[in-house]
């Protein structure tokens, strides 16, 4: 069975994410600038890179290697087209993390934004153990109201995501990473419309 993310057009996803009533694309972009600058590393892996939102903030002189991972190959082709200045440093990997975590290379910083929601804690633990980063930075969505997808003209594009979506809780994510040897070192929150918020949790290898 195909993963629903393989069938969602990037244009619909990004148009939904940047609506004034959603504001996730813009908020993530701002938060990613901080993620990329925070730690003294030379390699980074971004799980669930989608169309490459935020990559314009990659410091040119900092990262020798940038891995972009996504299940949707057309998303990755868009990333390559959008960021030709990263040619020679950016390597895009089309992988299904549910059953292909062993194919992930090593990186010093692992970034996973709105990603754990679609693979679950156990699979994310496997990915972290495979990549062996010094630092992990995650952004998760906390839903104050009943729905986890904000209403928009594009909402039905996401109908099948219920098949793979897991609600993520801060405490359980912290416990999951502590269980594999990572301690929380930072937290950042940004409010979104419709009673939601993005929570960034950063971890360091113990």
Q: What residues pair up with 140 in beta bridges, in sequence order?
A: 199
The pLDDT of residue 176: 97
Which residue range forms the structural domain that includes residue 25?
4-205
Q: What residues pair up with 138 in beta bridges, in sequence order?
A: 112, 201
Six-digit token string for 113: 């934004």
Six-digit token string for 177: 């990473």
Q: List, run by run, the mean pLDDT of 10-residue segments along the chain (206 residues).
A: 84 88 91 96 97 93 95 97 95 96 98 95 97 98 64 62 81 97 97 89 97
Six-digit token string for 15: 């148009």
- Domain CATH number, residue 102: 3.40.50.150
Contact between 107 and 45 (Cβ < 8 Å): yes
Instruction: Report pTM.
Output: 0.93
Distance between CA atoms of residues 137 and 205, nearest Å: 12
Contact between 110 and 131 (Cβ < 8 Å): yes
Q: In the chain, how many domains are there?
A: 1
What Å distances lie between residue 12 and 9, 16, 123, 136, 158, CA to CA? 5, 6, 27, 29, 10
Distance between CA atoms of residues 89 and 66, nearest Å: 6
- 177, burial (CB in 10 Å: exposed 0-12, middle 13-18, buried 19+): buried
The pLDDT of residue 144: 67
């Amino acid at each position: 069975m195909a993963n629903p993310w393989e069938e969602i057009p990037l244009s619909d996803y990004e148009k939904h994410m940047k609506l004034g009533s959603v504001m996730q694309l813009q908020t993530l972009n701002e938060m990613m600038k901080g993620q990329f600058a925070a730690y003294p590393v030379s390699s980074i892996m971004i799980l669930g890179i989608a169309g490459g939102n935020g990559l314009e903030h990659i410091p040119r002189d900092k990262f020798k290697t940038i891995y972009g991972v996504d299940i949707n190959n057309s998303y990755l082709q868009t990333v390559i087209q959008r960021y030709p200045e990263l040619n020679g440093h950016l390597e895009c990997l089309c992988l299904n993390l549910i059953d292909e975590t062993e194919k992930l290379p090593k990186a010093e910083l692992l970034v996973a934004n709105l990603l754990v929601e679609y693979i679950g804690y156990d699979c994310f633990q496997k990915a972290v153990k495979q990549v062996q980063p010094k630092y992990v930075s995650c952004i998760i969505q906390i839903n104050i109201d009943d729905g986890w997808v904000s209403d928009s003209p594009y909402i039905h594009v996401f109908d099948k995501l219920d098949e793979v979506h897991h609600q993520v809780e801060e405490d359980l994510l912290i416990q999951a990473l502590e269980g594999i040897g990572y301690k929380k070192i930072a937290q950042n929150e940004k409010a979104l419309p419709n009673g939601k918020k993005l929570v960034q949790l950063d971890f360091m290898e113990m």
